[in-house]
Structure 1
Amino acid sequence: MMAGILKSNTRKILIYGLVGLLAMMSFSFQKKTTIYIIGDSTAANKKPQAYPEIGWGMELQSFFKNSVVVDNRALNGRSTKSFLNENQWKPITEKLQPGDYVFIEFGHNDEKIDRPAIGTSLTEFKANLVKYVLETRDKQAIPVLLTPISRRSFKDGKLVDTHGGYPNATRQVADSLKVPLIDMLFKTENLLNQLGDKSSIKLFNYVDSGHVNYPTGKKDDTHLSPDGAKTIAGLVVEGVKELMLSLAKKLK
């Protein structure tokens, strides 16, 4: 009888152990959610020789748990047009899985209409955004539109918008196609206005002369410092929470 009890208990231990192992394996093999970022240099990954300039996309991963993977495909100097024409978009669509996200932030370079390979009219800009949105949805992934971040463009102590009609075109596409929108221009303008002309310098790539990467120094009112990139990524996360995206549950 005692031998039978021992066998029974041993069997239970083995079963419970197997169930636990299977549960652990199932958890480890659960699909991770990927956030693809497409856009320009304000978000892009930077090479070491550009430091301390970094893009906000480089800081986004730090806000999320391990169940989210940030795949930052933003590139310096790209517009909605050049990103497509250089075949940067197709490889992303080929990898997109249901439930993934695509964060779409353009505008800084689309406005350069004097450069035909990059600049776009507002009509073309909107058409390109629509393409990104629809092709993301075709893969049952989730597009999120972002307006471009503000440049640090103070004149006589007042912040001046430099993006023309492009942010509003992004808002119009988001409204017409019912796409989640994070209005980064609005958020960054509020931030810069709160900080003011001098205090906002810390968010941007201002470097004194003598730096190994910038021997003569640098005063850049477009691209971000490490503090600026972290702060701007935080504003993106703020937008994720405000929109109540499923990603919000995966924040640290």
Structure 2
Amino acid sequence: MINLYIFYHIENWKGLTCCDIGYECQKIDHWYSECMKVSNDIIRDNEESDDDNDAIEINTNEVSIENKDSDDESINPSVLWVIGDSTLCEFEEIYNNYYYKKYGYGTQLYHYFDKNIIVKNLAISGTSSKSFILEQSYHELIKNMKAGDYLTFGFGHNDEKREEERYTNPNGDYKTMGSFANSIYENYIKIAMERNVSIILTTPIVRRTDKSTWSSDKLHITKTKDGYEGGDYPQAIRDLGKTLNIPVIDMTVKTKELYDTFGYNNTLYLHAWKINDSSSVDNTHLNLWGSKYVAYLFTRDIKQASIDGLSEYVIDAPIPTKEENFIKNPTYNVTLIN
């Protein structure tokens, strides 16, 4: 076997740049290296060491990847737990064969926080602050909620239902048994406080009005009827926040202001439609555009509230547009409409 020479003179050398099998490259000086024959024992040793080096190289690559993502791994994100009713929840497809689908605004909050916040939405359609505690989502919350996390919730739409399993009385403070405030305090706030979880109280979003005026029920101010006492559910939340010194995001006021700005003819486009006809509008449930818009408003107020460890992670974002978000449900099936 003829020895091969590797010259390092970059400007002139155009020849071979590696040694043949059985030869090992040894540098002579800065001008060239010489391929020297090696013994079979050395070859075997090198093969064994190569096997080890293969494993080392794999591990090195893994370390390299870890180092590459070290900035992300150094972040210990906090969890924002979101609970509530259908105005926040994610809907199962089987119950969402709408031309413009239903979306709870809790499903869109993640768009407006950076990677320091993880949004975990456990809201369930049809629940009140009273009935939610019977759901698996409540047990998941209680099991996993920990110090440094945040908790927000949107109840009210179903607490006002005249049904024993869901109704809570809008009157009375957090010490009054059976009251809306007491249900929220005992089932959520008290437990969160014990775990050093930060709480953000939220009033319910309005129900859409189809005229230029607002009836009290659209604003969650109910009348006494059928043995169930009426009252002002959003105000109960506001009073609770004031009493316990907990920040309140007043989504009742925020959404009413938004709807007044749009005008009732245009708020149609914020809500779900069962079929491709505005007469089928669902005045309670938002569509994709509506849910993104409400989530946007919610997070703007979070930012302004200066909640340590949360507000600073709200990202600057444009207002969601109708053009991009008022879109037909791609899986809509007209034959399934009742």
> Which TM-score tier does this pair reach, normalised by the shorter chain?
0.7 to 0.9
Structure 2: segments with no counterpart, 5+ residues = 1-62, 173-178, 222-231, 316-338
Residues in 2 aligned to 1:249 and 1:241: alpha-carbon distance in whole angstroms = 7
Amino acid at match of 2:151: V
Is 1:208 paired with 2:264?
no
RMSD in angstroms over aligned alpha carbons?
Answer: 2.3
- In the alignment, which residue of structure 2 is the partner of 1:14? none
Following TM superposition, by how much is the alpha carbon of 1:248 offset from its aligned partner in structure 2, in angstroms?
2.1
- In the alignment, which residue of structure 2 is the partner of 1:119? 167
Q: Secondary structure at the match of 1:158?
A: coil
Identify if the C-alpha distance between structure 1 residues 208 and 28 changes in structure 2 by more than 3 Å, giving closer, same or farther: same
Using structure 1 for the length normalisation, give the TM-score. 0.83
Following TM superposition, by how much is the alpha carbon of 1:229 offset from its aligned partner in structure 2, in angstroms?
0.3
Show CA shifts across 1:30-74 (max 9, x none): 321111111000000112341511110111101111221110011
Amino acid at match of 2:312: K
Following TM superposition, by how much is the alpha carbon of 1:86 offset from its aligned partner in structure 2, in angstroms?
3.4
Aligned ranges 1:1-252 → 2 under 5 Å = 25=70, 27-49=72-94, 50=96, 51=98, 52-86=101-135, 88-112=137-161, 114-122=162-170, 123=172, 124-131=179-186, 132-155=188-211, 157-162=212-217, 163-164=220-221, 165-209=232-276, 218-245=280-307, 246-252=309-315
Aligned residue-pair number: 227
Following TM superposition, by how much is the alpha carbon of 1:24 offset from its aligned partner in structure 2, in angstroms?
5.5
Show CA shifts across 1:144-199 (max 9, x none): 110000011244x2123321111100111111001110000000000111111101
Q: Secondary structure at the match of 1:60?
A: helix
Using structure 2 for the length normalisation, give the TM-score. 0.63
Amino acid at match of 2:168: T
Do 1:153 and 1:161's aligned partners in 2 also have CA atoms closer than 8 Å? no
Amino acid at match of 2:291: A
Task: State the identity %.
Answer: 28
Residues in 2 aligned to 1:233 and 1:248: alpha-carbon distance in whole angstroms = 14
Show CA shifts across 1:81-110 (max 9, x none): 001233542321221122111112100000
Residues in 2 aligned to 1:138 and 1:22: alpha-carbon distance in whole angstroms = 37
More displaced stretch, 84-93 vs 187-196: 84-93
Residues in 2 aligned to 1:146 and 1:47: alpha-carbon distance in whole angstroms = 24
Amino acid at match of 2:247: P
Residues in 2 aligned to 1:200 and 1:218: alpha-carbon distance in whole angstroms = 13
Residues in 2 aligned to 1:150 and 1:222: alpha-carbon distance in whole angstroms = 8
